[in-house]
């Protein structure tokens, strides 16, 4: 099932044939992993990006006091990894773990390179993913620096519409750069305005 979901995802965005997909993924790693499983540790080189067929992952870092800062969530049909670690062969600053029991497809650089040789649309799509990721990070930095807590929350709901019931409130608050108490206040204020939470 995870591989079928990955195939659907890839073929929706590229022209990769069934034959080529089967050839490329003959030895691909697919795992069903339990909640709290860590896929990447800080200090390791990130060898894979992770396609989420089912479940929910998060990418986060720690400060010197051990406080967690969530950088990204990855629900179904999202891909998450540490690109700077993978492409520059450097130790990662991040952790990636499972918030829910998850079904994961492990994507390495070799698969992307081979698929790009077979189908130019594949490389174009992965380049688009990279640019979209950069755009998202830039927007996120801007929101953390300039937006109100309510604006950050609204942007979160827009980006991750179903995560309010799936991720713990403290993780969402961490992602937003606010305290859990502030998140509760924001939600109460929006409820008064009849915003559907």
Structural domains of the chain in order of their starting residue, each with its CATH number:
2-146 (2.60.120.10)
Distance, CA of 99 to CA of 101 (rounded, Å):
7
- Encode pLDDT of 52-87 as tens digits: 999 999 999 999 899 999 999 999 999 999 988 998
Share of the chain above pLDDT 90, in %: 70
Q: Are 82 and 71 in contact (CB under 8 A)?
A: no
* pTM across the whole model: 0.92
Q: Are 147 and 48 in contact (CB under 8 A)?
A: no
Give the per-residue pLDDT at 193.
79
Q: Which residues of the chain have pLDDT under 50?
A: none
Burial 149-172 (b: 16+ CB within 10 A, else e): bbebbbebbeebeebeeebeeebb
CA of 32: how far to CAs of 3, 7, 8, 27, 115, in Å?
Answer: 11, 17, 18, 16, 24
């Amino acid at each position: 099932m995870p591989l079928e979901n990955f195939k659907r995802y890839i073929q929706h965005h590229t022209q990769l044939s069934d034959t080529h997909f089967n050839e490329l993924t003959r030895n691909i790693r697919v795992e069903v992993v339990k909640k709290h499983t860590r896929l990447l540790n800080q200090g390791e080189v990130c060898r894979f990006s992770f396609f989420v067929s089912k479940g929910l992952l998060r990418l986060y870092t720690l400060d010197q006091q051990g406080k967690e800062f969530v950088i990204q969530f990855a629900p179904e049909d999202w891909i998450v990894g540490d690109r700077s670690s993978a492409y520059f062969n450097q130790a990662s600053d991040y952790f990636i773990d499972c918030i829910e029991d998850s079904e994961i497809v492990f994507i390495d650089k070799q698969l992307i390179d081979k698929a790009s040789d077979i189908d130019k649309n594949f490389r174009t799509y992965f380049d688009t993913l990279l640019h979209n990721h950069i755009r998202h990070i830039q927007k996120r930095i801007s929101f953390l620096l300039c937006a109100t807590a309510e604006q950050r929350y609204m942007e979160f709901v827009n980006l991750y519409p179903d995560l309010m019931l799936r991720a713990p409130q403290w993780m969402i608050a961490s992602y937003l750069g606010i305290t859990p108490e502030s998140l509760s206040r924001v939600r109460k204020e929006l409820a008064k305005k009849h915003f559907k939470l």
